[in-house]
Amino acid sequence: MLASVHIDSVAKLSKLGAVAAYAQVKQSHRNASLNLLWALEGALTGLPWQVVAREYRTSLLLALEQHQNAKVPISGHKRKNG
């Protein structure tokens, strides 16, 4: 799944962070579960995904929501030329 969004090294994953990497995967793989987010964060922190899911669930979900909201284009009023 990560390779399909061009995340092919630990360095790329680390640079993006677990939340942004998960969001990219989720865009192309709608069936990606939150277990992937827990696993990515675990890979970056050295914690088992189960610990991440239990102890960092809320903060990761909030970060994911903020990331998704930041990616939503803000629609404004269109001006007519002339």
Please give the pLDDT value at position 11.
95
Question: Distance between CA atoms of 65 and 68, rounded to whole angstroms?
Answer: 5
Please give the pLDDT value at position 71.
75
Please give the pLDDT value at position 72.
62
pLDDT at 81 over 70: no
How is the chain split into domains, by residue range? 3-71
Please give the pLDDT value at position 37.
97
Question: Distance between CA atoms of 25 and 37, rounded to whole angstroms?
Answer: 10
Token pair 């799944």 is found at 1
Among 1.20.1070.10, 3.20.20.10, 1.10.150.20, 1.10.1200.10, what is the CATH number of 3-71? 1.10.150.20
The pLDDT tens digits for 3-57 are: 999 999 999 999 999 999 999 999 999 999 999 999 999 999 999 999 999 999 9
